[in-house]
Amino acid sequence: MIQVLEKFAEPTRQSRVAIGIILIKFFKTTIKAFWPILLSLFLGRKSGNSFVDYVGYAALGFAALNVIGSVLTFFRYYFHLEEGSIVIDKGVLKRTKTNIPFERIQTINLQQNILHQIFGVVSLEIDTAGAKKSELTIDALRREDAEAIRTFILEEKDQLAGNSLEEVVEESLEEKEAKTILSLSLSDLFKIGVSQNHLRSMAILFAFVFSSLNEVTDDIEGLISNQFSEYQETIINNSWIVFLSSVIVVGIISFIYSIINTILKNFELRLTEERKGLKLFKGLLNREEISINKSKVQNIGWSDNPLRRAFKMYTLKIEQASSAQADQLKSKIKIPGAYFAQVKKVLNIVFPDTPWKEQPKNKVSILLKYRLIIFVGILPALIIGTISYFFNGWLSLWFLTWIPLAWYYYSLYYNKRSFEMSSEMIKNNKGTFGNNFEIAQLYKVQTIELKQSWYQTRKNLSTVTLYSAAGSMTIPFIEIEKANAMENYILYKVESDERSWM
Amino acid sequence: MNELFENIPVNISELPDVSKSEYHGIEKAYLTVARISNSILFSVLIIGAFCIIFFNDDINNIPLNYAISIGPLMLFWILSLLFVSKAFPKKKYSLREKDIIYTKGLLWNTRTSIPFNRIQHAEVKQGPIDRMFKLHSLKVFTAGGDSSDLVIPGLSEEKANKIKEFIMGKTALDDSGS
């Protein structure tokens, strides 16, 4: 371990490959910022004016600036290890020297995008607690170095936290044989891709196409009608066929998009058990290595949809505590395919001292269902229907079909809505067409909120929200006595528990 | 009450009951602060509406137009002043041995409880209108997002600092203990 400290005691530059990686990063950000301009200039070239020359020069200038910038960035980036902290000294125009004490470091993740993979380097991401901008990245390091630095820092941190050296050594021996909890093969990924929520990918595609079109031109309609002006007559004649076929085309595209996206993101996904928690490897173009610290996990959730149920698979979500708002996305880890046995295994590893058993289900009040049907179903249908009556006459009776649909939907929702509570944990059950479960440990709760609307006060009901360091869990419409009892018990549980909660 | 959750080993009815703990109201002067900030908001809206009619050439400068735009605003102003006064007595806090509880809300009555050992830090703040009435508010932060933070307005400086000390003292104690 001491060699690591010695090796990186002097300010060190990153691996030389970093120049290329920084350059690509630069290009990416500039292109991301300016691509609508570039594209519209490119499209505008058809008209062929001398303006094009300027554009060419501007592009060259941009490229040169990027190259110089990334080279300078590389040569002005040093890092080294000190006793108890890592120091990063960087910046061309604005120089900053950051000193991060090991005890403030939460996790260290390794990442490899396609360039990293080609050159055999990794980028090291250091997450710290507290600060708003809590992330520090070393763009390119040799894999051995990155791993050495990571284990060094994490073990130093452990010692600072008060664990004796012996314990650490003993446990790190154990660590050698990392157990695989789950891994996804290509056929698993295919199943997951097939059972993805295709409506959502359709929506994403539409949003992407429209927002890009919007940036290129303000007049989407004009653009489309221009492009299709020759076909206009045929379109008008065959509008139904066009409509149907475009729906089919979009459907197929989003289906393919779902599958490719799933495979790229989760290629060779592997979840292993480590000394302090779990470790997740995944990705093809962008290979990630994420460590999950047991004690920081606040919430474990698993969900399915009707398609995925056919494969008996769940989407597993593990939520960790995070201090800065910006990290919230990163601290939620999603594994798109896991069998129930694997979900159970993860539960037992993450919450070892409080194994979960199924508990009697507590239903929420049936009034929730009626309220939802009235406020989402009946009222909107009547109001919109009445307004529409003045314009469309009796055709607006169609709006009334919304009511049975809402009835059906919320009956499904209500039937699945329940919660289970044991002396240590709480489980929330939700879902309409699919199922959605989440489990949290009671002692990790940090705020309890009881909310009563006027209506709820009259009916002696209350909505309970439990906040943890990773998010919240809501249980609506339960009897006020039950809510009070829950509040009293959970407060007692939190206040009498000495375990670390994040 | 234990039969509500038969699988819990402790007798819940013997635990200290949050709803029966001792609640304290906040300073009376805060009602004035709330009314003033409410009035400022509506004054700005009314002046805005007036300016739009007065300076816009497309809208006729007749009393009817003023009445249509400013009348409802006035009505809302009065209603919200009433609302503020009605909601004021609902703002109450309670300090127990190991947690802090705050209740508020007329239409949506909420009760928020935060155990001291989950508090990250607390601060005493003062807005410009608070300053005129020598009032302070106490803000309690927990880990994670902003959604679970707690603000108790309308406290005297002495009280706010005292509560803060109490909370933070407890937090420090618990930290060294674990």
3-class state of residue B56 by DSSP: coil
- CB neighbours of A407 closer than 8 A, spacing ≥ 6? A373, A377
- Write down the pLDDT at residue A236: 58
With CB atoms and an 8 Å threshold, state whether A489 touches B12.
Answer: yes
Q: How confident is the model at residue B67 (pLDDT cuts 50, 70, 90)?
A: confident
Chain A residues in contact with B122 (beta carbon < 8 A):
none
Name the residue among A467, A488, A500 with its Cβ closest to that of B147. Answer: A467
Q: Calculate ∠ Cα A318-A130-B96, nearest 5°.
A: 85
Closest residue of A to B9, CA-based?
A423
How far apart, in whole angstroms, are the C-alpha atoms of residue A80 and residue A85? 9
Closest residue of A to B17, CA-based?
A488
Which DSSP string corresponds to A330-398?
TTEEEEEEEEHHHHHHHHHHHSTTS-----PPEEPPTHHHHHHIIIIIIHHHHHHHHHHHHHHGGGGGG
> Minimum mean pLDDT among A154-163, A341-350, A429-438, B38-47: which range?
A154-163
DSSP A12: B
With CB atoms and an 8 Å threshold, state whether A484 touches B15.
Answer: no
Phi, psi of A123 (to 5 degrees): -105, 145
Q: How confident is the model at residue A74 (pLDDT cuts 50, 70, 90)?
A: confident
Q: A494 and chain B: CB distance < 8 Å anywhere?
A: yes
Name the residue among A448, A488, A501 with its Cβ closest to that of B16. Answer: A488
3-class state of residue A290 by DSSP: strand
Q: Which one, of A456, A477, A454, lies nearest residue A465 by Cα?
A: A477
How far apart, in whole angstroms, are the C-alpha atoms of residue B53 and residue B59? 6
Interface subset of A 441-470, CB within 8 angstroms of B: 445-454, 457, 467-470
- Write down the pLDDT at residue A171: 46
- Gap from B80 CA to chain A (nearest CA, Å): 17
How far apart, in whole angstroms, are the C-alpha atoms of residue A396 and residue A417? 33
Q: Are strands A270-273 and A179-183 parallel, antiparallel or unpaired?
A: antiparallel
Closest residue of A to B170, CA-based?
A495
Q: Which two tokens stand for residue A252?
A: 């197929």
Name the residue among B5, B99, B109 with its Cβ closest to that of A452. Answer: B109
For tokens 């763009």, name the residue. A139
Rounded to two decimals, the ipTM of the complex is 0.86
Chain B residues in contact with A458 (beta carbon < 8 A):
none
- CB neighbours of A249 closer than 8 A, spacing ≥ 6? none
With CB atoms and an 8 Å threshold, state whether B108 touches A451.
Answer: yes
With CB atoms and an 8 Å threshold, state whether B16 touches A453.
Answer: no
With CB atoms and an 8 Å threshold, state whether A360 touches B8.
Answer: no
With CB atoms and an 8 Å threshold, state whether A467 touches B144.
Answer: yes
List, for residues B115-174, the tens digit of each pLDDT value.
998 888 888 988 889 899 999 999 998 876 666 689 999 999 999 988 988 888 755 544
Asked if residue A47 lies in contact with residue A40, where contact means CB atoms within 8 angstroms, the answer is no
- Write down the pLDDT at residue A231: 57
Query: What are B140's strand-pairing partners?
Result: B122, B150
**Burial class for B11, CB neighbours closer than 10 Å (0-12, 13-18, 19+):** exposed
Q: Which one, of A472, A95, A67, lies nearest residue A299 by Cα?
A: A472
- Write down the pLDDT at residue A48: 54
